[in-house]
């Protein structure tokens, strides 16, 4: 499966949301995978993507999170 991957680990909000927004504005049907390392970023990205009509799945591994975003 094809992914657009955004590695926003180590970045503080709102940067992960801005990075996600730039990819979603040009959404082409591929799953967007966003890697973050704070729960604040997870919540902010989930809220933004959800408001834009996207579905968001969150996977947690140790101290990192992978958000899979799709329509």
For the chain, the structural domain boundaries read: 3-70
Q: Dihedral of the CA atoms 12, 2, 55, 19 (nearest 10)?
A: 20
Rg of the chain on CA atoms, in Å: 11
Give the CA angle between residues 10, 6, 51 to the nearest 5°.
100
Instruction: Give the tens place of pLDDT for each residue, 10-44.
Output: 999 899 999 999 999 999 899 999 999 999 999 99
Its CATH architecture, for the domain 3-70, is 2-Layer Sandwich (3.30)
Is position 51 annotated as part of the catalytic site? Answer: no
| Active-site entry in 4, 11, 13, 31 | 13
Quote the pTM value.
0.93
Rounded CA-CA distance 65/35 in Å is 6
């Amino acid at each position: 499966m094809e992914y657009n991957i955004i590695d926003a680990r180590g970045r503080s909000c709102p940067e992960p949301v801005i990075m996600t927004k730039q990819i979603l504005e040009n959404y082409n049907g591929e799953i967007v995978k966003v890697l973050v390392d704070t729960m604040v970023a997870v919540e902010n990205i989930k809220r933004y993507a959800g408001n834009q009509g996207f579905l968001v799945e969150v996977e947690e591994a140790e101290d990192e999170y992978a958000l899979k975003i799709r329509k």
